[in-house]
């Protein structure tokens, strides 16, 4: 293997890793906030991809320009899901963990079923877009422009997320609610509002990923499940609830996937991911950055 092909593998891995990190960030944010694993996270991704496709099909608006619209819509969807479903699941008197699992799992199945009904199981793709098909030649390393765009958006999103959490009132309220949701009322914070905004933010983050991925992935009702599985591994690897753990773990997953696709075979790339996951969980059950 030449140095150049090694660099190519690492670059491709990092680009995809940043997108994985973006998908995982929303999942980790929601988990950290309220100890709920959103098993409908993959379906959120799928809806964002369909939304991007739908906007393109209806108005020919390029996915790059549709991104803010999709992200805004996903924010509203996330907040709505909390207010309409999760809030009630949290009131369970017994077995609250299972109630939450079934609530989000059921929500995922429902969304997928509705997508199959309304969008049909057909594979869709956005045929012509500004970025599709372009590659950037960086001293012999080829970077596909859509993935590069996704990676840049992912970096910007993490910077913005860091700013929101560390520098804004909402971020401080988010951190306080993570610490003790029952105590925030003592300083006048409405925990339901924080939870709803947290779900909105989590869905918006996966919405960014979805609108970029709509450029270079086939869109179908089941598209979310394989990415959701990677996202669960990423969140567990990074440490449940740690957003920046999700970033580091996303990059690691992207790299391991690219390396095992080359070293083993492309069809075996998932094996590398789960092998690393098992090793990390065996040695550090809380994940790389977990402090549960």
Partner 1 sequence: MLLEVSSITTTYQGLVALDAASIDVAQGEIVVVAGANGAGKSTLLKSIAGMERPRSGMVMFQGERVDGLAAHLVTARGIAFVPENRRLFPRLSVADNLRLGSYLFRREADREAPIERVFALFPRLRERLEQRAETLSGGEQQMLAIARALMTRPKLLMLDEPSQGIAPKLVDEVFEAILATRRSGLTVLLVEQRLSESLEIADRGFILQTGRVILSGRAGELRDNPEVRRAYLGI
Q: Does 87 bind partner 1 (CB under 8 A)?
A: no
Query: Is 122 one of the binding residues for partner 1 (CB under 8 A)?
Result: no
Binding partner 1 (rule: CB under 8 A), the pick from 71, 165, 189, 197 is 189
Angle (CA) 286 280 25, round 5°: 60
194 vs 208, which CB is nearer to partner 1? 194
Is residue 103 a contact partner of residue 87, using CB atoms and an 8 Å limit?
A: no
d(CA 252, CA 89): 34
Q: What whole-number distance in Å separates Cα of residue 16 and Cα of residue 173?
A: 32
Task: Name which of 82 and 227 has its Cβ closer to partner 1.
Answer: 82
Measured from the CB of residue 202, what is the shortest distance to partner 1 in angstroms? 21
Is 58 one of the binding residues for partner 1 (CB under 8 A)?
A: no
Region from 12-20, 109-117, 121-129, 167-175 binding partner 1, contact rule CB under 8 A: 167-175
Residue 180 burial (CB < 10 Å; 0-12/13-18/19+)?
Answer: exposed
- Does residue number 169 form part of the binding site for partner 1 (CB under 8 A)? yes
Stretch that binds partner 1, among 73-81, 101-109, 189-197, 260-268 (CB under 8 A): 189-197
179 near partner 1, rule: CB under 8 A: yes
Q: Who's near 88: CB < 8 A, 6+ residues apart? A: 103
- According to DSSP, residue 40 is labeled T
Nearest to 154 by CA among 229, 5, 254: 254
Query: Under the criterion CB under 8 A, does residue 180 sit at the interface with partner 1?
Result: yes
The residue among 35 and 175 lying less far from partner 1, judged by its C-beta, is 175
- Between residues 189 and 280, which has the closer beta carbon with respect to partner 1? 189
18 touches 251 (CB < 8 A): yes
Nearer to partner 1, 193 or 269 (CB): 193
Work out whether 286 is an interface residue with partner 1 (CB under 8 A): no
Distance between CA atoms of residues 162 and 153, nearest Å:
14
Task: Pick the closer one to partner 1 by CB: 122 or 190.
Answer: 190
Phi and psi torsions of 215, nearest 5°: -75, -35
266 forms part of the interface with partner 1 (CB under 8 A): no
* Separation of alpha carbons 102 and 245, rounded Å: 26
- Minimum CB separation of residue 67 from partner 1 in Å reads 31
- Any contact of residue 275 with partner 1 (CB under 8 A)? no
Supply 79's token pair.
């907040």
Q: Which residues bind partner 1 (CB under 8 A)?
A: 169, 172-173, 175-176, 179-180, 182-191
């Amino acid at each position: 293997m030449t140095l150049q092909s090694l660099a190519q593998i690492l670059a491709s891995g990092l680009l995809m890793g940043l997108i994985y990190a973006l998908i995982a960030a929303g999942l980790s944010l929601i988990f950290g906030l309220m100890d709920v694993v959103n098993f409908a996270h993959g379906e959120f991704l799928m809806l964002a991809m369909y939304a991007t496709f739908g906007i393109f099909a209806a108005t020919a608006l390029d996915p790059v320009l549709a991104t803010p619209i999709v992200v805004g819509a996903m924010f509203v969807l996330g907040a709505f899901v909390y207010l309409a479903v999760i809030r009630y699941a949290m009131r369970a008197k017994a077995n609250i963990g299972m109630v939450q699992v079934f609530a989000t799992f059921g929500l995922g199945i429902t969304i997928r079923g509705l997508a199959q009904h309304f969008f049909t199981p057909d594979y869709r793709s956005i045929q012509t877009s500004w970025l599709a098909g372009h590659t950037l030649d960086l001293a012999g390393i080829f970077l596909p422009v859509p993935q590069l765009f996704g990676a840049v958006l992912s970096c910007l999103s993490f910077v913005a997320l860091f700013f929101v959490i560390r520098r804004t009132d909402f971020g401080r309220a988010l951190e306080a609610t993570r610490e003790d949701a029952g105590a925030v009322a003592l300083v006048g914070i409405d925990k339901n509002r924080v939870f709803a905004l947290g779900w909105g933010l989590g869905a918006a983050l996966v919405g960014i990923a979805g609108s970029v991925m709509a450029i270079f992935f086939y869109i179908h009702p089941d598209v979310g499940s394989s990415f959701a599985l990677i996202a669960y591994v990423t969140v567990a690897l990074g440490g449940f609830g740690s957003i920046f753990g999700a970033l580091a773990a996303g990059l690691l997953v992207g790299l391991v996937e690219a390396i095992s696709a080359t070293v083993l075979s492309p069809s075996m790339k998932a094996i590398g991911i789960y092998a690393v996951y098992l090793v990390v969980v065996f040695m550090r059950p809380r994940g790389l950055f977990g402090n549960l």
